[in-house]
Structure 1
Amino acid sequence: MNILVTGAAGFIGSHVCEALLPHHHVIGIDSLIGPTPKAMKQKTIETLNTYDRFTWIEGDLLSLPLDDIVQQADVIYHFAGMPGVRTSWGTSFDLYTTNNILATQRLLEACKQHRPKQFIYTSTSSVYGETNGRVHENTPPTPLSPYGMTKLAGEHLCRIYESAFHVPITILRYFTVYGPRQRPDMAFHRFIWQMLFDEPITIFGDGTQTRDFTYISDCVNGTLAVLGNEKAIGETFNIGGKERASVNDVIAMLEALIGKQAKKQYVNQAIGEPKHTWADISKAENMLAYAPNVPLREGLRHEVEYIRSLYGRS
């Protein structure tokens, strides 16, 4: 099977490529933009290029010949986009509309002409906004940030092309994914780096905010569970983790794993970020046999080991 993966050099996209390559031919596209340093993405691509089944295309979805590319693909995983809640305000918004909305629309236009067997759009828990308790896929989305709004716009585009042109859509909403190759701007990567280099940890708000943390291997398992699954077509799924915790809880775990006290620096809560997230994953459990199994402490240990090796801190 030929599988097109956009955002192939990114955190989740690269892990999904690695999981697909033993069994499928993967065409990976990435423009190498965003908060992850270009050198880190290039190193990831070097690893993927060691697979005979991997075809690499560097470029922008707005300028690449997508008709020619899409007609080669049986399935499309669309990870490409501009991430980040805090950076989506102000003049940066143009990057989000361009990369999260316009690029998605152009890819869907190509799918209209050369309809794949599946088009899997990766979205985010940020579309839900502020909620109480577990959120089900039927919870009305009310994003709090421009980032969340653009990802929700991508979802709506998918549904329009599904309805008008029968593009076989599946939507995955990820809840705070972490682990090796996590973006440097994300909290766990930043916390671990700051602790290893004896820098103050910047905590937005009072640290009591909670997240449903999803380890990368669990995320990948949920992502692959929709591949070739006819029941998944037309559906939206939450992909969440094994346990929730507060930011303060996470820092305490990192202190124990790293063996030093964090220098905590609390600042104002970031605008556009919900106080709590909590995924109801019962739909994914029932329809995809999704079963996250990596405890938070174990996942953090793997990420600490990765970041130690990345920055040469033993």
Structure 2
Amino acid sequence: MARSKTILVTGGAGFIGSHLAEALLARNDRVVVLDNFDPFYEESIKRRYIQKAQKSSDYRLVEGDIRDSDTLERLFAEKSFDAVIHLAARAGVRPSIEDPVEYCSVNVDGTSKLLEACRNHRVETFVFGSSSSVYGNNRKVPFAEDDPVDRPISPYAATKKAGEVICHTYHHLYGMKIACLRFFTVYGPRQRPEMAIHKFVRKIFNEETLDQYGDGGSARDYTFVADIVRGIVAAMERASSYHIWNLGGSECLKLSELIAAIASEVGKPAKIRQLPLQAGDVDQTWADITRAREELDWKAETTHGEGLKQFISWYREHAGVGRSE
């Protein structure tokens, strides 16, 4: 059995981070979570997400901001980390258009300060949660890691591209082992309330009208959170230099198909209001996972049908039909 590790997970109280923390604890790793409980959505929701992990003696929660160098210095001085998995970020394409300065502050400045703390305290392995949004509106599909990513169409995408570039610089200068993981539309239990699947499920359950931007022809490569977590752990274990890996389901689902599938699973019709496409939204995402399959022995295992069933089951039990969270 591999020796247990001490791992820092930034953003570890959020959607992906809370699942990751539980998976690491299940491997007998020691987990320190750094999260500032940003009011992007209700703090109480995140508090519930970490209750299971907090029962473990190998779990520690530190409340703080990745942009606070003093907080980082104290944390890294107290603990010697085998790896840092950096998931803390301002998320979302549309909100980034409203507040690009804050997105740059958190996603670029925060990432830089975290990398500097890792350098100062000789952390060898750094995993960066990037995004499929870096591909912009590339016409070549599926998206492969070597495709051009120099034309982002939202501030969020630009900050994720910037994070990858900063990571490469720290690998080049200081020899850090770094994995940049381009996540493709992650969904599943604990998904953020403003994200499409969560919002559509809530609206259909409550028999409310949902907003559909465009004619329903836009498509996304939806990836179940448990598959993403497996990919993160595999990348942490196999990072040996500087890597970029796509983590996606490698299967596209049109928006109209997604809404129909949710309505079928919920057992109620969808009431749809069609609106114009929004600035910053890409037409399509689709992951080429050849590299992840070959180098990480990874592929998504959860079908859209299975994943939606799991999410809706979780929603019924935890979010509560008729509630707005």
Please give the TM-score of this superposition, normalised by the length of structure 1: 0.96
Opposite residue 46 of structure 1, the aligned amino acid is Q
Percent identical: 36
Equivalent position of 1:19 in the other structure? 23
Equivalent position of 1:139 in the other structure? 147
Q: Is the 8 A contact 1:35 1:185 kept in 2?
A: no
**3-state SS, counterpart of residue 243 of structure 1:** coil
Opposite residue 70 of structure 1, the aligned amino acid is F
CA offsets, 1:49-90, max 9 Å, x none?
A: 111110110111122531332352110000001000011113
Q: 1:299 aligns with which of 284, 296, 307?
A: 307
**After superposition, where does 1:167-186 map in structure 2 within 5 Å?**
167-186=176-195
Q: 2:261 aligns with which of 228, 253, 256?
A: 253
The count of corresponding residues between Structure 1 and Structure 2 is 312
CA offsets, 1:203-257, max 9 Å, x none?
A: 11111101111011111111111122144x3110000015311010011111110
**Structure 1 unaligned regions, length at least 5:** none
Deviates more, 1:114-123 or 1:34-43: 34-43
CA offsets, 1:27-70, max 9 Å, x none?
A: 00100115331110111222221111101101111225313323
**After superposition, where does 1:217-228 map in structure 2 within 5 Å?**
217-228=226-237
Taking the aligned partners of 1:229 and 1:94, their CA distance within structure 2 comes to 34
**3-state SS, counterpart of residue 225 of structure 1:** helix
Opposite residue 310 of structure 1, the aligned amino acid is H
RMSD of the alignment, in Å?
1.4
Deviates more, 1:138-147 or 1:68-77: 68-77
Taking the aligned partners of 2:264 and 2:84, their CA distance within structure 1 comes to 41
Q: CA deviation at 1:143?
A: 1.2
Q: Is the 8 A contact 2:214 2:274 kept in 1?
A: yes
Check 1:216–1:230 CA distance in 2 against 1; reply closer, same or farther (3 A cut).
closer
Q: Is the 8 A contact 1:6 1:80 kept in 2?
A: yes
CA offsets, 1:183-207, max 9 Å, x none?
A: 0110000000011111101111111
**3-state SS, counterpart of residue 40 of structure 1:** helix
Equivalent position of 2:157 in the other structure? 148
Please give the TM-score of this superposition, normalised by the length of structure 2: 0.93
Opposite residue 97 of structure 1, the aligned amino acid is C
Instruction: Determine if the alignment matches structure 1 residue 99 to structure 2 residue 99.
Output: no
Q: Is the 8 A contact 1:243 1:295 kept in 2?
A: no
Taking the aligned partners of 1:184 and 1:124, their CA distance within structure 2 comes to 19
Opposite residue 137 of structure 1, the aligned amino acid is E
Taking the aligned partners of 2:142 and 2:39, their CA distance within structure 1 comes to 31
Q: After TM superposition, what 4+ stretches of structure 1 lie above 4 angstroms from structure 2? A: none
Taking the aligned partners of 1:296 and 1:172, their CA distance within structure 2 comes to 21
Q: CA deviation at 1:117?
A: 2.3
Opposite residue 245 of structure 1, the aligned amino acid is L
**3-state SS, counterpart of residue 28 of structure 1:** strand
Q: CA deviation at 1:11?
A: 0.6
